[in-house]
Amino acid sequence: MPVATKLQSHAKPVTEPRARAILKPGGNIVTVHEETTKRKKENLKKKTQVPKIQEREISDSVVGNNNVSLDSTCSSDSSSGNSLVKKVNSENGNGSAKMKRNNGFKPVRIVPDASHVSPPHKTSAPSKRCDWITPNADPLYTAFHDDEWGVPVLDDDRKLFELLVFSQALAEHTWPTILNHRDIFRKLFENFDPSSIAQFTEKNLVTPKLNGNPLLSEQKLRAVVENAKQFLKIQLEFGSFSNYCWKFVNNKPIKNEFRYGRQVPVKNPKAELISKDMMRRGFQCVGPKVVYSFMQVAGLVNDHLITCFRYQECNVAIKTEIKTEVKEIKV
């Protein structure tokens, strides 16, 4: 066998040439596989960094342009910039919060549809009262108008005597003043008990002073004591002072229909008739004006204006109380 043939048969199989060594600054040998892996990592890193750079560019352009509305940056996928932002948001898992930090916009306030907004609550208007009860009127006077004035007083002689004394006191005081000192009046006149007042002596004729002036003048005070005596006589004659008063109006209150306060009179023929009869019986300080004021407050006449909410209420109260009285008489 030739030498060439023998050498050829013992030679090792031909393999690929060894990879070329690449030297790093430290002199270490890096294989092709390691270099390939390194390049893949660098390429992957570059790919992940590109969206962040573009995202910053997009946010800077949006913030820098004041004419761009929020709707244009939050529209559908037709914009490539928006699709890029959506991709980054899906990768980070916190896209909405990042968008708010990057683009600098504040949270959008959602305004509900006007059709679902309930109308503002309308407070009920204040009740219409008589003209002399103004918004600045004394609260006691307003309550007196709403609860007592014009309400028929039946079978309550002590209440009727109290209202008669107040009607006499109107010559020296106003209703608000009288009502604010009502407790003093009641204490002074023994809670308006006619039998007790009829026993008053000179010592009882001294009244407390209001602003340096007596609660009632001596003339009015003596008239109250004398009227209490005549009051007891009427009770004996008619059974009650209530029966005596209501017989002048046939047990039916006079129902006026005044629209304006200037139409309300200070007296009427019926008041003049009652005044004459009372003075004939010995009552003092019971002129027609005093008697008419008494008729108004005791409900013998309904002088609430027809525009006042108490006008109809007093009429209903009148009908109810009169029917009750008639039933009691029949029984």
CB 146 within 8 A of CB 298: no
CA distance 76 to 329: 89
Q: Long-range contacts of range 231-234, CB-CB < 8 Å, 24 or more positions apart?
A: 231/157, 231/161, 231/194, 231/198, 232/194, 232/195, 232/198, 233/281, 233/282, 234/281
Determine if residue 308 is labeled as part of a ligand binding site.
Answer: yes
* Amino acid at position 32, single letter: V
**Count of beta carbons in the 10 Å neighbourhood of residue 178:** 21
According to the annotation, is 245 in a ligand binding site?
Answer: no
Distance of CA 218 to the CA centre of its chain: 49
SS3 content of the chain, % helix, strand, coil (to 5): 60, 5, 40
Distances (CA, A) of 230 to 138, 200, 290: 34, 14, 17
Q: What span, in angstroms and rounded, lies between the C-alpha atoms of 185 and 182? A: 5
C-alpha to C-alpha distance for 37 and 32, rounded to whole angstroms: 9
Contact 88, 50 (CB under 8 A): no
Is 121 flagged in the annotation as binding? no
> Using CA atoms, how far apart are residues 207 and 189, in angstroms rounded to an integer?
10
Give the SS3 label for residue 277. helix
H or E element, residue 255 = strand 254-255
Annotated binding site: 130, 145, 304, 308
- Binding-site residues for Zn(2+) sit at 130, 145, 304, 308
